[in-house]
Amino acid sequence: MKNEKKGFARAHTNIALIKYWGKANNELILPANDSISLTLDKFYSDTYVTFSDDLTENSFFLNQIPMPKKSMKRINHLIDFTKRQYNYSGFAKIQSYNHVPTSAGLASSASGMAALAGAVVSALDSTADLTNISRIARLGSGSASRSIFGGVVHWHRGHDHESSFAEQIVSEKEIDLNMITVVVDRHQKKVKSTHGMAQTVATSPFYSTWVDEANRAIPEMITAVQNNDFTKIGELAEHSAAMMHATTLSANPAFTYFAPETIKAVRLVHQMRSTGIECYFTIDAGPNVKVLCRTQDITRVHNFLAHEFNEQQLVVARPGSGIKFTKN
């Protein structure tokens, strides 16, 4: 009889308020700076893992489509590392499903790799140690380390595998912070975050300043989050995003993730603020803009954005929960 071990996990995606941008160690994915994010309710990945003595290699199906072998490097790295940790030698069949509104155009590596780490650990061992799952998720994608927890989350950069993990600052119930994604472009980003980071670290004369400023903002953001101080959270988040994107423009060769419509959305945020609707923007390694607002302002912000963007381009998300090992 074949010997099988099965696991499941659901993890939600997250968007950084203080961005992670640049690695100190490529193999272990240790970041140069600490980061802080909000886990979102809307977008999540469900991942099923079956380990079996019968299999001869790992396979990964995303929304039922097999992943080409050449794209499996990080996935295999994560699985191999975990197998060594739990002293197991079989291979895995993985089925992952992304639940992201089809129009959202959001990267799903954070939720996908977090759910993979959770499912692999749940197949091989107990899931009690979430810190360990956060470390393992980091090996798949840096930002995935934060998707293990709900609410607002701090990823400690650390200096080795043990010391680089995420932890919750406040739960999803304790924070009044929402994100409206303005979907400017649904297509895959042109410069992947790994390449964008590497180019910036290697060539931007502003890079060391970015690291210092990002780390300096961390205690300020933690205090703002603990006080539910939306104004401070928004100001720090917007500044962090603007500084991150300044490093790409100062890289050599220079590049940018902005599209013309990105600037249009940023201008709308400025306009809203000048008319008394308090909101802020953040932007990741792609052209889409996320607008931060309080719950009381969701409708006003949404309606303002709807003057320039259509319904399908606007996706409202609220704070989301941490990883789960059952479907409900």
Could you tell me the two tokens for 24? 């100190």
Q: Between residue 175 and residue 194, which ones bind ligand PMV under the rule CB under 6 A?
A: 193-194
Q: Which among 16-24, 43-51, 204-212, 214-222 is the span making contact with ligand PMV, rule CB under 6 A?
A: 16-24
Considering the complex, state which of residue 285 and residue 317 has its C-beta at the smaller distance from ligand PMV.
285
Produce one character per residue of 9-37: b if its CB has 16 or more CB atoms within 10 Å, e if not: bbbbbbbbbbbbbbbbeeebbbbbbbbbb
Q: Under DSSP, is residue 124 helix (H, G, I), strand (E, B) or coil? A: helix
Task: With CA atoms as reference, report the closest residue to 310 among 186, 187, 182, 189.
Answer: 182
Query: Counting contacts by CB under 6 A, is residue 143 touching ligand PMV?
Result: yes
- Which residues have CB under 8 Å from 277's CB, separation 6+? 293, 297, 300, 301, 304
Binds ligand PMV (CB under 6 A): choice among 35, 96, 98, 288: 35
Q: Under DSSP, is residue 296 helix (H, G, I), strand (E, B) or coil? A: helix
Q: Under DSSP, is residue 123 helix (H, G, I), strand (E, B) or coil? A: helix
Considering the complex, state which of residue 9 and residue 214 has its C-beta at the smaller distance from ligand PMV.
214
Binds ligand PMV (CB under 6 A): choice among 22, 105, 112, 142: 142
Considering the complex, state which of residue 123 and residue 180 has its C-beta at the smaller distance from ligand PMV.
180
Q: Which among 2-10, 14-22, 43-51, 158-166 is the span making contact with ligand PMV, rule CB under 6 A?
A: 14-22
Query: Counting contacts by CB under 6 A, is residue 297 touching ligand PMV?
Result: no
- Which residues have CB under 8 Å from 123's CB, separation 6+? 5, 6, 7, 49, 50, 51, 92
In the complex, minimum distance from the CB of residue 35 to ligand PMV, in angstroms, rounded to a whole number: 5
Considering the complex, state which of residue 137 and residue 272 has its C-beta at the smaller distance from ligand PMV.
137
Q: Which among 13-21, 44-52, 58-66, 183-191 is the span making contact with ligand PMV, rule CB under 6 A?
A: 13-21
In the complex, minimum distance from the CB of residue 213 to ligand PMV, in angstroms, rounded to a whole number: 14
Binds ligand PMV (CB under 6 A): choice among 285, 293, 317, 323: 285
Query: Counting contacts by CB under 6 A, is residue 284 touching ligand PMV?
Result: yes
Q: Under DSSP, is residue 312 helix (H, G, I), strand (E, B) or coil? A: helix
Query: Counting contacts by CB under 6 A, is residue 32 touching ligand PMV?
Result: no
- Measured CA to CA in angstroms, residue 72 lies from 168, 237, 289 at distances of 29, 33, 29
Task: With CA atoms as reference, report the closest residue to 96 among 140, 62, 50, 131.
Answer: 62
Q: Under DSSP, is residue 206 helix (H, G, I), strand (E, B) or coil? A: coil
DSSP string, 98-114: EE--TT-----HHHHHH
String marking each residue 102-141 x if it binds ligand PMV according to CB under 6 A: -------x-------------------------------x
Which residues contribute to the site for ligand PMV (CB under 6 A)? 16, 19-20, 35, 109, 141-143, 193-194, 284-285
